[in-house]
């Protein structure tokens, strides 16, 4: 007798989210903590804000729904396109999503977000990377010269 | 008033916190994950982004993680060479690395000694090229290209070679076989081995001739599986009951032995059979069974010589397949599909559940680089490799 339970998830800023068990269990962490059968008394997620949690739930919802669809040509492509749109967010949100996916152990979301960051890095010059990610330049002129010499071939 | 100012300070804190957050504050494992999705050439460039990135990319734990991951993501090395100049014996070759979808990474052009250059993959990061007793090693990821010390000469100009990677010792091994003499009773074939570890100066690594001579003439290139080099024998005895047609050179014992073919008599001896490595096992590919079919036998137990007919794949469903001329070469087992090279402009992937092939993305086979080709191009060849930081010691 499996009626889908409703799980309560509470964000760090004390906002409650009510989600289907199937959706919540996309997170291995939540699945491990809550277990099956027993009554759910609500789970506090102190590391995830409501802004991010709502996005995470949106992702999990879509992927649960997609899993139910019958296999027909185009489903995979549609889901990929949806994922691509989903990660069109500012960098800070992207990193928050990575942290959340890691903490909640949602493999698909972690893969997607890490891939997105890798795509952002690929093909950029070191200077462009520093600008994009706000990274401080820390080398002395001598250190930079040596590094450049060692990796000369990489820039050719 | 106080709540407003505290609100203001919250706002300020949060924004400067976000400035510091971002990629550098991610857990180390995640940083590894992200960076391991990039090519070696990019990563080496990014060492100078910051001290932190430099340490991260040079971290041995990261490098181990990277190599583990890259071995699950094979890439293609494509080689083009031209008919060479009879006078010069110099060969111009073009090497291009790309992913399985044909997206190009690096390109190199090299001029080396030789006529028809053989390409030997290792199933790992390096590729070996050789002509007679001239050997070259190439790392497609770093584009480091090195000539090895020349191998021994063969008076009859008959040479064979093999190349492979030993996972347990992280060494590459090159084997060179050179026919010293032949007589009515048989062949006298010398055998030497070159071993290479990461960071060795490859150009000065010596060949070591092994005591035992190779007892049989071999054809094709030798394949390294589990510290043993395997080749197929070229001299099939007239005695039709001799099916010990695979030669095994054990690198540990440094001796030769022969291995019986699987299920002798169950196929036509005139068939062209060749060896490949799949899923870590030596496999014998029988390409010309009737009906048009590829049978792949797997040597599941090398000590007790236990062969299993692992795959039987019909060819007539492969588009572009011409049953007389097409040689289909299985390259590797990847993501539960068998990747094959059927000499077309794309790879094909065989799905065992659906029992069908799907065509991969079209690869760019024509490399007309600013008309630097002086003579007609030979047929394009490709091998698989994995991205690696392995250093050949020349930089």
pLDDT tens digit sequence for A64-112: 998 888 777 778 889 999 999 999 999 999 999 999 999 999 999 999 9
Q: Chain A residues with CB inside 8 Å of B143's CB?
A: 153
Q: Does B209 touch chain A (CB under 8 A)?
A: no
Establish if A147 touches chain B: CB-CB under 8 angstroms: yes
DSSP bridge partners of B147: B136
A117 interfaces chain B, CB cutoff of 8 Å: yes
User: B183 exposed, middle or buried (CB, 10 Å; 0-12, 13-18, 19+)?
Assistant: exposed
Relative orientation angle of helices A107-121 and A50-68, to the nearest 10 degrees:
110
Distance from CA of B373 to the nearest CA of A (A): 22
Kindly state the average pLDDT of the residues A99-126. Answer: 95
Q: Is B46 on the interface with A (CB under 8 A)?
A: yes
CA distance B37 to chain A (A): 6
Calculated CA dihedral for residues A78, A55, B12, B53, nearest 10 degrees:
-60
Residue B11: pLDDT above 50?
A: no
CB contact under 8 Å between A114 and B37, yes or no, is yes
DSSP 8-state assignment for residue B327: P
B354 touches chain A (CB under 8 A): no
Q: By the CB < 8 Å criterion, does B47 face chain A?
A: yes
Minimum mean pLDDT range among A69-73, B68-72, B121-125, B333-337: A69-73
What is the predicted ipTM?
Answer: 0.91
Let me know the angle formed at the C-alpha of A88 by B43 and B24, rounded to the nearest 5 degrees.
Answer: 40
Segment B237-276, tens digit of pLDDT: 545 556 678 899 999 999 999 998 887 665 555 567 889 9
Q: Is A76 on the interface with B (CB under 8 A)?
A: no
Indicate the range of A137-151, B306-320, B325-339 predicted with least confidence: A137-151
Contact B42 A121 (CB under 8 A): yes
Least confident of B125-139, B177-191, B337-351, B364-378: B364-378
A141 compared with B229, residue with greater pLDDT? B229
B377 DSSP assignment = B
Tracing tokens 């997170």 back to the chain, one arrives at A27
- Kindly list the residues from chain A whose CB atom is less than 8 angstroms away from the CB atom of residue B42: 121-123, 154
Q: Which pLDDT band, with edges at 50, 70 and 90, does A123 fall under?
A: confident
Q: Within a 10 A sphere around the Cβ of B367, how many other Cβ atoms?
A: 18
B190 pLDDT exceeds 90?
yes
| Tokens 């906002």, located at residue | A15
- Range ranked top by mean pLDDT from A144-148, A152-156, B24-28: B24-28
B192/B208 Cα distance (integer angstroms): 5
Interface probe with B: pick from A154, A155, A156, most Cβ of B within 10 Å: A154
Lowest mean pLDDT among B111-120, B221-230, B320-329: B320-329
B17 reaches A (C-beta below 8 A): no
Task: Work out the average pLDDT over B144-151.
Answer: 97
Q: Which phi-psi region, left, alpha or beta, contains residue B254 (left: φ > 0; alpha: ψ -120 to 50)?
A: left
Interface with chain B: mutation pick from A125, A134, A141, A156, highest number of B CBs within 10 Å: A134
Tell if the CB–CB gap between A114 and B30 is shorter than 8 Å. Answer: yes
Of A118, A129, A155, the CB nearest to B37: A118
Confirm if A5 and A41 have CB atoms less than 8 A apart: no
Asked if A99's CB is within 8 angstroms of B23's CB, the reply is no
Helix (H) or strand (E) holding B281: strand B281-289
B-chain residue closest to A112, CA distance: B34
Q: Do B21 and A115 touch (CB under 8 A)?
A: no
pLDDT computed for residue A82 by the predictor: 95
Question: Most confidently modeled of A31-40, B183-192, B342-351?
Answer: B342-351
Optimal mutation site among A115, A116, A118, interface B, most CBs of chain B within 10 A: A118
Q: For the whole model, what pTM was predicted? A: 0.89
- Cβ pair B258, B248 in contact under 8 A: yes
- The helix-helix angle for A107-121 and B28-35 (nearest 10°) equals 60
Chain B interface includes A18 (CB < 8 A): no
DSSP state for residue A74 in the 8-state scheme: T
Q: How far is A137 from chain B (nearest CA, A)?
A: 6
pLDDT tens readout for residues B325-379: 678 899 999 999 999 998 888 999 999 988 999 999 999 887 766 566 777 788 8
Question: Does the beta-carbon distance from A135 to B50 stay under 8 Å?
Answer: yes
CB contact under 8 A, B21 and A136: no
B142 touches chain A (CB under 8 A): yes
Give chain B positions within 8 Å (CB) of A139.
48, 50-51
Q: Alpha-carbon distance B178 to B163, whole Å? A: 15
How many angstroms separate the CA atoms of B223 and B164, rounded?
A: 7
A117 vs A122: CA distance, rounded Å = 9
Closest A-chain CA to B144: A153
Taking the Cβ of residue A145 and every Cβ of chain B, the question of whether any pair is shorter than 8 Å is answered with no
């Amino acid at each position: 007798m499996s009626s889908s339970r409703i799980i309560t998830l509470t964000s760090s800023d004390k906002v409650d989210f009510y989600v289907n068990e199937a959706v919540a269990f996309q997170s291995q962490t939540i699945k491990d903590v809550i277990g099956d059968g027993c009554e759910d008394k609500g789970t506090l997620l102190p590391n995830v804000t409501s802004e991010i949690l709502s996005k995470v739930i949106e992702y999990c919802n879509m992927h649960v729904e997609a899993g139910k669809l019958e296999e027909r040509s185009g489903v995979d492509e549609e889901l990929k396109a949806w994922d691509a749109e989903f990660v069109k967010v500012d960098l800070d949100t992207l990193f928050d999503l990575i942290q959340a996916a890691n903490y909640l152990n949602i493999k698909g979301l972690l893969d997607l977000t890490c891939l997105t960051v890798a795509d952002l890095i690929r093909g950029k010059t070191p200077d462009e990377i520093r600008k994009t990610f706000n990274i401080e330049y820390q080398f002395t002129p001598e250190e930079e010269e040596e590094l450049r010499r060692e990796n000369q071939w990489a820039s050719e | 008033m106080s709540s407003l100012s505290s609100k203001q300070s919250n706002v300020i804190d949060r924004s400067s916190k976000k400035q510091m957050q971002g990629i550098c504050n991610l857990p180390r494992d995640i940083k590894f994950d992200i960076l391991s999705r990039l090519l070696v050439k990019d990563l080496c460039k990014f060492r100078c982004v910051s001290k932190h990135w430099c340490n991260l990319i040079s971290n041995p734990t990261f490098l181990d993680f990277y190599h583990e991951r890259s071995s699950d993501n094979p890439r293609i090395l494509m080689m083009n060479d031209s008919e060479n100049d009879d006078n010069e014996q110099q060969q111009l070759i073009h090497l291009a690395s790309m992913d399985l979808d044909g997206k190009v990474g690096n390109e190199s052009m090299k001029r080396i000694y030789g006529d028809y250059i053989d390409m030997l993959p290792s199933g790992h990061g390096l590729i070996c090229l050789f002509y007679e007793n001239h050997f070259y090693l190439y790392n497609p990821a770093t584009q480091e290209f090195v000539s090895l010390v020349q191998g021994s000469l063969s008076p009859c100009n008959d040479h064979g070679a093999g190349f492979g990677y030993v996972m347990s010792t992280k060494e590459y091994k090159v084997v060179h076989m050179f026919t010293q003499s032949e007589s009515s009773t048989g062949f006298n074939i010398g055998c030497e081995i070159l071993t290479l570890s990461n960071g060795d100066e490859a150009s000065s690594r010596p060949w070591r001739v092994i005591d035992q001579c190779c007892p049989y003439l071999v054809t094709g290139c030798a394949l390294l599986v589990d510290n043993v080099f395997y080749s197929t024998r070229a001299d099939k005895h007239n005695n039709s009951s001799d099916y010990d047609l695979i030669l095994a050179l054990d690198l540990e014992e440094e001796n030769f032995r022969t291995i019986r073919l699987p299920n002798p008599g169950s196929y036509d001896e005139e068939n062209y059979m060749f060896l490949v490595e799949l899923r870590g096992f030596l496999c014998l590919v029988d390409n010309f069974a009737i009906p048009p079919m590829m049978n792949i036998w797997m040597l599941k137990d090398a000590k007790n010589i236990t062969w299993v007919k692992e795959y039987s794949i019909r060819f007539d469903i492969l588009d572009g397949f011409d049953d007389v001329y097409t040689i289909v070469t299985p390259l590797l087992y990847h993501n539960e599909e068998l990747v094959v090279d059927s000499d077309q402009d794309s790879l094909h992937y065989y799905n065992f559940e659906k029992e069908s092939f799907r065509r991969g993305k079209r690869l760019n086979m024509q490399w007309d680089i600013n008309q630097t080709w002086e003579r007609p191009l030979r047929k394009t060849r490709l091998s698989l490799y994995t991205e690696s930081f392995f250093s050949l010691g020349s930089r």
